[in-house]
Structure 1
Amino acid sequence: MHALVLTGPGEAEIQDVEAPKAEPGQVVVNVERVGVCGTDAELFSGEMSYLHTGRSWYPLRPGHEWCGRVTALGEGVCEDWLGRRVTGDTLLGCDRCDRCRAGRHHVCADTGEIGVSRGRPGALAEQLAVPARALHALPDTLDSTLGALVEPGGNALRAVRAAELRAGERLLILGTGTIGLLAALFADAQGVEVHLMGLRQPELAGTLGAAGVWTRPALPDHLPWHAVIDASNAAELPALALDLVEPARRVVYIGLAGTPSTLDTRDLALRDVTAGGILGGSAGLADTIAAYADGSVNPRPLVAGTVGLADAAGILAGHRPDDAGPGPKFHIDPRR
């Protein structure tokens, strides 16, 4: 089958590779759609920290935001999965340790991430092998665009939940990329007043129900922020999130900067602020599917366009096709 393979920093090619087989406990999925995110771009550029710690290495097959149809079952897998349209958890724990048994497989010491770490092949290919325990069925009402947005949606939903806001309270989201905009959609669906802050005031953000879209100089200084979510990749913004949030409320960190950020824990303690970090969408995938299915959250405008596997390397390198829409997300259809 054809697959995109990262062979080194800034180097990628489509290769003919061996098609996966459904080992015991696994299924094989014919991939329909794959989302490209910042992690994929950093794996391509060589900037991803995992490449420097030994958790990831080249050659690497990326792609962790995906959907498709199950076409083969391994031994021990329920036959009901055959023919089902599915997406799946990216974070795969050992399924044996205390963390996994307690439902915290996403922080298992041996976690491998599909298309990201520990040599697990990703979905930028015609087929993908996945443990059946990681699968989530997609209802017929969810097309491939929505199916490939479930994984980032799960991340955003977990961030909004961690903010612990009530309807009518005010949320500030730092960052207007895919996760920031998805968090805005989920928070708005819960009746929260949403504001976004980014380097720019993207036209798209103002159409997603946000009460305000600001740059840093224009950010109002008279509004109390009942929670702040940092969904940016700027090293200086975690400290700003703490400065802006109301005392005794919550800041949520889901963005990852390329360099270490500095946070003064004295401010955290003296203002009685609770800070939380979010890794992965595992616990939010099922409810994300439900929100997309019932229409309470519609992330379609975030997708700027869909290209074939041959154009995937260009997207990873930051190329934006001339006919792209205003959204931050690009999808790849490996069947093209």
Structure 2
Amino acid sequence: MTAARSIRAFVLTAPGEYEVQDVPAPVTAPGEVVVDVERAGVCGTDAEFFSGAMAYLHQGHAAYPLRLGHEWAGRVAGVGDGVDPAWIGRRVMGDTMLGCGDCRRCRRGYQHVCDKRQEVGIRGGRPGALAEQLAVPVGSLHVLPDAVDAELGALVEPGGNALRAAEGTGAGPGDRVLVLGPGTIGLLVAMFVRAAGAEVHLMGRTVDSLAFARGLGFQHVWAEEAVPELPFDAVVDASNDARLPDRARELVEPAGRLVYIGLAGEPSRVDTRTLVLKDVTSVGVLSASPGLTATVRAYAEGLVDPRPLVAATVGLEEVGRVLAGTRPPHAGPGPKILVDPHR
């Protein structure tokens, strides 16, 4: 009798507690594929699960033990019943949001806000990509062209979020946009806004983060107390600071646009009277789903290059320390850590 095959995976067993475990290899279920994961990203959502602060833990949408990882790229290794075998060998990344497919929202193309959705590595018990292999529905896949390698592929998911936020500003040539929070998402938003031809300003807290943003070619980089009194046609909050959504409301120009993509650990308060009196449009961005195809294309064409954001690539054994806030030795200045599960 052949023993069941196993793979290595990072497993979060409780807040601050983790193991790299041998777990059963995923099976090729009907309608799904199994992917050999080449790169996966570690993000702020993973850190919230690590700390125990993630809202889904308290809402019943997620529970320990958890298999994290929703930013990934890899190669299809096997297909289930009903899936074209031609998928085998293709280089892909996948949508995080997996809707039920039957509800009104899914039928209208909004599967990313389906009440019954699973989220890869986040919600509904769907194992994530901090593992050697991953099983996902074939319909969630996006093929990666040759110009988008595994490193870029793992940055498509955060890039899709950022692209949607940039599009939410409605900005183009002649417009001025302020981005609050120069982390991975904020910098990607700034890159997409710059590519659209708008003037980009960034506001951050630390000397290092501001210096890094300048190194990416952004000339207008400010500490909060130094933000100039300029008309900002759009303001994007990409921070986790509960104060900044209302600060964005103060800073935006009348008839401008506010985009909220950051999430704080506590409720944010916004004085909506000013939204009305300024005639401001406010946009919330949850998911990369509607922006993934365009992000792959932008990376392939070189419209946006997120590679400088990657500080280091580590193995599964180092993920716990990264989530705890320890920078890998010899990491570069960028905000993003990637994982090679086979290292």
Work out whether the TM-score is over 0.5.
yes
Q: Is the 8 A contact 1:188 1:209 kept in 2?
A: no
Q: For residues 96 and 326 of structure 2, what CA distance do their matches in structure 1 show?
A: 25
Other structure's SS at 1:100 match: helix
- What's the counterpart of residue 132 of structure 2? 126
Aligned partner of residue 225 in structure 2, secondary structure = coil
What is the alpha-carbon distance in structure 2 between the residues aligned to residue 12 and residue 168 of structure 1? 49
Q: Which residue of 2 aligns with 1:229?
A: 236
Aligned partner (choices 197, 209, 217) of residue 225 of structure 2: 217
Which structure 2 residues correspond to residues 1-336 of structure 1 after superposition, within 5 A?
A: 1-201=7-207, 202=209, 203-221=211-229, 223-336=230-343
Does structure 2 conserve the Cα–Cα contact (< 8 Å) formed by 1:194 and 1:209? Answer: no
Q: State the SS of the aligned residue for 2:20.
A: strand
Q: Secondary structure at the match of 1:51?
A: helix
AA of the residue aligned to 2:59? T
Match of 1:63, SS?
coil
Deviation, 1:140, is 1.2
Secondary structure of 1:7's partner?
strand
**Distance (whole Å) between structure 1 residues aligned to residue 274 and residue 193 of structure 2:** 26
Tell whether the 8 Å contact from 2:172 to 2:193 is kept in structure 1 after alignment.
Answer: no
Is the CA contact 2:160–2:288 (under 8 Å) kept in the aligned structure 1? yes
SS of residue in 2 equivalent to 1:266:
helix
User: After the TM superposition, which segments of 4 or more aligned residues of structure 1 sit over 3 Å from their partners?
Assistant: none
**Letter of the 2:311 counterpart:** A
Distance in 1 between the 2:129 and 2:107 partners? 27
- SS at 1:284's partner residue? helix
**Identity, % of aligned positions:** 61
Distance 2:269 2:157 in 1: 29
TM, length-normalised to structure 1: 0.98
Task: Decide which moves more: 71-80 or 304-313.
Answer: 71-80
Structure 1 residue matching 2:190: 3-state secondary structure: helix
Gaps of at least 5 residues in structure 1 are none
Measured in 2, the distance between the counterparts of 1:315 and 1:322 equals 11
SS of 1:217's equivalent in the other structure is helix
Superposed CA RMSD in Å reads 0.8
- 1:184–1:208 CA contact under 8 A, matched in 2: no
**Contact 1:193 1:211 survives alignment (8 Å):** no
8 Å contact kept, 1:185–1:209: no
Task: Tell me by how many angstroms 1:247 deviates.
Answer: 0.5
Q: How much does 1:322 deviate?
A: 2.6
What is the Cα deviation at residue 141 of structure 1? 1.4
In structure 2, how many angstroms separate the alpha carbons of the residues matched to 1:204 and 1:234?
Answer: 20
Secondary structure of 1:117's counterpart equals: coil
Could you list the per-position Cα deviations for residues 78-111 of structure 1 after superposition, in whole angstroms to 9, with x for gaps in the alignment? 2221100000000100011111111100000101
CA contact (8 A) 2:26 2:135 kept: yes
Amino acid at match of 1:210: F
- Deviation at 1:45? 1.1
**What is the count of residue pairs matched by the alignment?**
335
CA distance in 2, matches of 1:156, 1:298: 13
Deviations 1:147-188 (A, max 9, x none): 100000000000000111121311000001000000011111
What residue identity is the alignment partner of 1:6?
Answer: L
Query: Residue 17 of structure 1: SS of its match in structure 2?
Result: strand
Counterpart of 1:310 in 2: which secondary structure?
helix
| Gap runs ≥5 in structure 2 | 1-6
